[in-house]
Structure 1
């Protein structure tokens, strides 16, 4: 697969929505409980500071995506937050790593100084290992901070990285 990370376009809405919804419906990574629809997906992706997509330049398929947006306002407005999703059938091919690296670059381009993750689910070991490998600093753990689909609560880990 030959992957290029590029800016989201309106024509990407359906493919990007499906990838996003795979994670939402899985219920073990994103805090959202309701999937996006064809009526609100494009507006959601366009309202972000930046939405990036991973495109296979050979097939033209969208295989991953990320959103980048402020984590807070005012005196903390220099801190951003992001979410990443890779299509289920191509996970494990380092697309997530490409998305995170592009996001760090875009965060700097957009004037942010810090990328902070507020809620990395502790059992999401692939994400935890990726962020640690890329030099993110573990800030701490919130015990029971994530409500799992089975009704249990799992710890979340906070990370940051200077951009």
Structure 2
């Protein structure tokens, strides 16, 4: 698997699983009716932020990540990131590779920590992955997310020093 900078030419490969994940409404706080152009503009970051894709040996886009400054001004030393893995490639280490890549990017870029602002507590695979990579749950916003099947569930704020 190769992780490289995402380009607008990658968007047609990202959009189908991006749309499926967002429309399901189970893991992101994005509007479930988010359109393709707006989704692309939200996801494909520009410097100093970054978006990447994980691609297989045949060039297939397996997943994507966006990495960004989490806060501005005197909080600009904290990075943030979001990840999406095509469900067809779940369980194959794509999410772990993207998360590890983003940690390395943030450290190299001079950030002191990473913070995830809204990890849905029912997204147990993501919570387990992040914890295994050194993230702690700092707190949970009770009923901060309206899950389509589970009802109101918490949103974790997760943090890791770099």
Task: Give the TM-score of the pair, scaled to structure 2.
Answer: 0.90
- Which deviates more from structure 2 when the two are superposed, residues 13-22 or residues 72-81? 13-22
CA-to-aligned-CA distance 1:52-111 (integer Å, 9 cap, x gap): 110002x21001000111111111111121110000111011110000000101112333
Distance in 1 separating the partners of 2:107 and 2:137: 20
The answer as to whether partners of 1:71 and 1:80 remain within 8 angstroms in 2 is yes
Write out aligned runs for 1:5-44 (5 A): 5-33=3-31, 34-37=33-36, 39-44=37-42
Match of 1:153 in 2: 152
Distance in 1 separating the partners of 2:154 and 2:105: 29
Match of 1:63 in 2: 62
Distance in 1 separating the partners of 2:14 and 2:107: 23
Distance in 2 separating the partners of 1:27 and 1:89: 18
Distance in 2 separating the partners of 1:114 and 1:21: 29
Consecutive unaligned residues in structure 2, runs of 5 or more: none
The answer as to whether partners of 1:118 and 1:158 remain within 8 angstroms in 2 is yes
Distance in 2 separating the partners of 1:111 and 1:95: 25
Q: Give 1:151 deviation, angstroms.
A: 8.5
Match of 1:100 in 2: 99
The answer as to whether partners of 2:70 and 2:78 remain within 8 angstroms in 1 is yes
Match of 1:113 in 2: 112
Match of 2:84 in 1: 85
Match of 2:137 in 1: 138
The answer as to whether partners of 2:45 and 2:66 remain within 8 angstroms in 1 is no
Aligned residue-pair number: 159
Measured at CA, do residues 24 and 129 of structure 1 come closer, stay the same or move farther in structure 2, by a change above 3 Å? same
The answer as to whether partners of 1:13 and 1:41 remain within 8 angstroms in 2 is no
Q: Give 1:23 deviation, angstroms.
A: 1.6
Consecutive unaligned residues in structure 1, runs of 5 or more: none
